[in-house]
Amino acid sequence: MNRMIRTAAAQMGPISRDETRVSAVVRMIALLEQAAAQNADLVVFPELALTSFFPRWFMPDQSEVDSYFETEMPNTVTAPLFRRARDLRVAISFGYAELHRQDGILHRYNTAILTDRAGQILSRYRKVHLPGHGEEEPWRPFQHLEKRYFEPSPFGFHAADALNGRIGLAICNDRRWPETYRELALDGAEMVLIGYNTPRHYPPAPEHDHLQDFHNHLSLQAGAYANGMWVIGVAKAGVEEGCDLIGGSAIVAPTGEIVAQAKTLGDEIILADCDLTRCAEIRANIFDFAQHRRPEAYTRIAARNGQ
């Protein structure tokens, strides 16, 4: 069985507040076609790939907030992307804001999906670790209102069978939490796809601004190494509505090594041949879970969210 996934990280440059979803999808299709021309099996797009990163604005009108959400996927606007991916026989993953009705209750999630080569959705993940704040904080140069506009996922982390392997999804801030990777690894994930929108300036701790690129790669590389998995980190990058977003999209091997990295802050494809058999280099040696994990010693991890 072929255990190689030729993977493309499809970094996207800024999406302005008035750029239409149709325009964003046209850009995504162009990146998809570039990747397919280089024989990609899987193309991974960023978090909230269809719109500008709207949590940076305080919007008291819920109908305005909801205008950034999708009620179904695929829909009329994204259908051309799914159709082109199906025609090219390429699996895709991307993030979007999801309006989901369950048992008569409306839920709003920061969501990512993974399809197979036929354009069928295999996996849907809702973001667990929502950063930011819930109320307007006027002192900030821009807001980060994910806690206001989204609910944290009640569904946790899970991997799906895809492309002759096990693939998990996570979103942006999830990448900073070691539990994300370990939960997915324990569900058999051999590759994790992570889209992000990360500002260079962090208003609560501006002394860390110069570390944003370092912390991004540190998180991706540590997660890959400590769990023996491929990690694909994909940015929305550049100056978006006055907010400087880091790039640094990267494909990280199970050894923690970056094997491909974006060079620009715009629309860009990077590729790597990701051999899933390489997960055994770490999982059969350094981090052999069955031999060396001691869950009885980790009881605080699941029992507490603070001291």
List active site positions: 47, 127, 172
For residues 236 and 55, the answer to whether their CB atoms sit within 8 Å is no
**What is the C-alpha to C-alpha distance for residues 185 and 166, in angstroms, rounded to an integer?**
9
| Integer Cα distance of 67 and 101 in angstroms | 16
Q: Is residue 236 a contact partner of residue 48, using CB atoms and an 8 Å limit?
A: yes
**Residues 79, 29 contacting (CB under 8 angstroms):** no
Contacts of residue 118, defined as CB under 8 A and 6 or more positions apart, other chains included, come to: 86, 89
Name the pairing type of β-strands 42-44 and 91-102. parallel
Distance separating alpha carbons of residues 174 and 167, to the nearest angstrom: 16
DSSP per-residue letters across 55-118: GGS----HHHHHTT-BSSSS-TTTHHHHHHHHHHT-EEEEEEEEEEEETTEEEEEEEEEEE-TT
